[in-house]
Amino acid sequence: MSETISFTPAEMLSVILGICAAIVSVSAAIGVISKMLEKAKAPEAEQNARLEAIEKRLEEIDKTLARHGEYFTNDDNRFKAIEKSNKVTQTALLALLKHSLNGSDTDALKEAEKSLEEYLIDK
C-alpha cells in the first residue's frame, strides 16, 4: 500500500489553473452580489438623503415660526398697552365732557385726573 503519488507538470499546471479559475469565479460572484446589494440599498440611501434635507428645512421653518411667534407676542403686548391707554384717555375725556355739561361734576374730573396721572407715571 505504499503507492507513490506523482504529478506531471501538465497536471500540476491544470490544478493551479483550476484553483485560479475557482478564485476568479468566486470573486466575480462576490462582485455581482455586492452590486446587487448596492442596487437594493440605493432607494434607502436616496430616501435617507431626502429625509435629511426635509429635516433641515423643518428646522429652519421651526426657527422662523418661533421668531414669528415672538413678533405676535410683542404685537399683542403693544395692542394691550394701546387699549389701556385708550381706556384711560377716554375716561378722562368723558369726565371733561361731564364737567363741561354739568359744571359741577368735579369728583369724576379729579378721579380721571388721578387715573391719568397714575397711567402716565407707570408708563
Between the alpha carbon of residue 88 and those of residues 12, 23, 94, 113, the distances in Å are: 112, 95, 10, 9
| Count of CB atoms situated within 10 Å of the CB of 92 | 18
CB 112 within 8 A of CB 95: yes
Instruction: Give the residue ranges of the chain where pLDDT is below 70.
Output: 1
Tell me what pLDDT residue 19 has. 95
Within 13 Å, how many C-alpha atoms sit on residue 63's CB side? 5
Distance CA 66, CA 62 (A): 6
Tell me what pLDDT residue 1 has. 56
Tell me what pLDDT residue 92 has. 83
